[in-house]
Amino acid sequence: MSHGKQGFRVELDPTAEQRVRLGQHAGLSRVVENFCLALVKATLSQRDAERSYGVPDEQLTPLPWSAPALEKAWRAAHPTLFPWFSEAGLSSRVPKEACRVRAAGLKNWADSRKGARRGRRVGFPAWRKRKHGSRFRYDADRARPTGPRAVALPGVGAVGTREDMSWLTERLSGGGARIIGATVREQADRWWVSFQLDIDRTDVNERRAVDPGAPTCGVDLGIKTFAVVADDTGQVEEVHAPRALKAAQRKLRRANKALARCERGSNNRAKAVHKVAAVHLAVANRRADFLHKLTTRLARTKRAIAVESLNVAGMIRNRRLARAVSDAGFAEFTRQLGYKTDWYGSKLWTADRWYPSSKTCGRCAALNARLTLSDRVWTCLCGAIHDRDHNAARNLLAAMHAAA
């Protein structure tokens, strides 16, 4: 058996009353997260004051840092500070998960300060606001499908879905999958539930496994051409991205202008907010559709794939490239390739970030240090004429074979 983690997302079809309940639970999650943050900040200030009076560290006020400590503080405080929680009959599982989310954020901040966390530095958790979006979580399998077209959500009830879930329900009933958590989220006035699963994908992976004799390839990512795929058979394919954000700029500009003209707090402004959100959702869906189709095709048709490790955060700092880089989704492309190659039995090899794939001549291996971003075609001293992207893809393929 090949057990692993996987997500399963489905759009909900709630009634008007259920929409209200979903919104109440999202508001509850926001209240609990802000309560936890206020408690931690107040305790930190109290400890600083105690230190100024010479109180030893071991005698300072205990800091409610973990999820159990935050949950205990919430249970003690909500009957007095938030009596509406019990009166409204909201699910007790939502505050539990909100405390876990806040505790995880605090731990990430602390680990980042000590250098114990990989990646860029994480700041101290911020207040959660309405504009950050509506979402809440359930732990374990508290939220679960009750059939191919219905989901049971504690505190909300049985909510219909707009999509069939037979693929999931069959695996749950047969023991091939287990729900370990669920997140409910609202986008553009539409609601989704995402199940986090511990699932056995053996049957699917074996049925869709890559052919052992499939070619290997190098993939060079870029802005003008999203991906150049060079096979060891000599074939080169150029893949062009839909540039979803660029295509939606006119529509997005109009929606934002209409929003700016609306009076704050009015019904028309609420409608305008939803129109802007709908444009952003359409952009995200179009980009995700392109990336999923491309990464699935590569993982199922290429025995090994070589990619470069891009400094996306650094590329975004260039104001002339920031929008195009963000629109492309390079990091998401690499992330999806990572788990899909594991699924289908192919290999993913990542070149060092400083590997000069574009500047190295594919014939004589000489380095062209003067190559700039604007140079799309260049000629080496050995006489070889290179298309910048095609040459980079072939070099990545060669580097992968050399490292094998």
- 33 is known as an active-site residue: no
Q: Which two tokens stand for residue 267?
A: 């019904």
What residues does 181 pair with on adjacent strands? 139, 196
Which of 308, 332, 342, 352 is catalytic? The answer is 308
Q: What is the 3-state secondary structure (H, E, C) of the chain?
A: CCEEEEEEEEEEECCHHHHHHHHHHHHHHHHHHHHHHHHHHHHHHHHHHHHHCCCCHHHCCCCCCCHHHHHHHHHHHHHHHCCHHHHCCCCCHHHHHHHHHHHHHHHHHHHHHHCCCCCCCCCCCCCCCHHHCEEEEEECCCCEEEECCEEEECCCEEEEECCCCHHHHHHHHCCCEEEEEEEEEEECCEEEEEEEEEEECHHHHHHCCCCCCCCEEEEEECCCCCEEEEECCCCEEEECCCCHHHHCHHHHHHHHHHHHHCCCCCHHHHHHHHHHHHHHHHHHHHHHHHHHHHHHHHHHHCCEEEEECCCHHHHHCCCCCHHHHHHHCHHHHHHHHHHHHHHHCCEEEEECCCCCCCCECCCCCCECCCCCCCCCEEECCCCCEEEHHHHHHHHHHHHHHHHC
By the 8 A CB rule, do 341 and 329 touch? no
Which of 33, 97, 220, 231 is catalytic? The answer is 220
Which of 33, 186, 231, 389 is catalytic? The answer is 389
- 389 is known as an active-site residue: yes
Q: How far apart are CA 38 and CA 126, in angstroms?
A: 10
Residues 6+ apart with CB under 8 A from 9: 192, 193, 194, 195
By the 8 A CB rule, do 376 and 240 touch? no
Active-site residues, by number, are 220, 308, 389
